[in-house]
Amino acid sequence: MSRRAKDEALVIGGDQRLDLLPPEVRAERRGQQQRRRLSLGVVGVAVIVGLLVGSATALSLTAQADLASEQARTATLLTDQGQYFAVRALQNRVTLTEAAQRVGASTEIDWTDYLGAVQNTLPSSVAISSVQVDSATPLAAYAQATAPLQGVRVATVSFTATSALLPDIPAWLSALGTLDGFADALPGSVALDQTTGIYTVTITMHVNDLAFAHRFDPTSDPKEEKQP
């Protein structure tokens, strides 16, 4: 058998190796390996914690910068608003004045036009000699009738008319019924002055809220609402 073949031959039962190190040395080596592993783990955890702290710090700095920017923007807006304080105060006064006008004129009736319309309903021979008007106010509800068959009213017009001829009272009341806001009308007395031959007639007419002028109402035109 050649030397090479002898070297390549399988050797059964090689040399026995004995570990003569004391158990304490082996335990120390194992402890060193564990400490190295633990050190690597601690270093890894420290790196991760450092990255997290760095990210949180960066986010905090960004948030603080955004907050400072918004605070500066708010201060600028407040400064700009201060420049228009007088305009805002004027706008508030105008709004308050307009609201007061709407409330104050909520029960307003244009009596000049309304009494002119009453005058137009009179027969040609009749003239109004005196007028008394009692109307609602924004501060108190208008007293309503206690008698049946009388409509809701916001004003009362009592007038006296004179005529040299006996007026046709039913026709006159029918003509009054064509007026805007007419609620009802009650004839009073008809008296003849024997000396002058003049008839004196009294009429009491009640007016409802359709006669309101709505002069400061911004939402509608009362004249258009009254058209059929």
The CATH number of residue 160's host domain is 3.30.70.2830
Q: Answer yes or no: are the C-beta atoms of 156 and 205 closer than 8 Å.
A: yes
Separation in Å, CA 155 to CA 27, 33, 63, 151, 207? 115, 109, 68, 11, 5
Expressed as residue numbers, the domain containing 56 is 23-105
- In this structure, the strands spanning 182-193 and 155-163 are unpaired
CB atoms inside a 10 Å sphere around CB 186: 13
Q: Which residues of 197-210 are buried (b: 16+ CB within 10 A; e: fewer)?
A: eebbbebebbbbbe
Task: Please identify which residue in the block is written with the tokens 């270093």.
Answer: 43
- Is the domain of 92 the same as that of 66? yes
Give residue-wise pLDDT tens across range 105-163: 677 888 899 999 998 988 888 888 999 999 888 888 888 888 777 778 989 999 998 98
Residue 174 lies in a domain: yes
Contacts (Cβ under 8 Å, ≥6 apart) of 125 = 163, 164, 165, 167
Could you tell me which residue, 124 or 104, shows the higher pLDDT? 124
Q: Is residue 10 part of a domain?
A: no
User: What band does 225 get if pLDDT is binned at 50, 70 and 90?
Assistant: very low
Local confidence band at 182 (pLDDT 50, 70, 90 cut-offs):
very high
Shared domain check, 116 and 78: no
CB atoms inside a 10 Å sphere around CB 56: 10
Same domain for 89 and 115? no
Total domains present in the chain? 2
Span 205-228, average pLDDT: 69
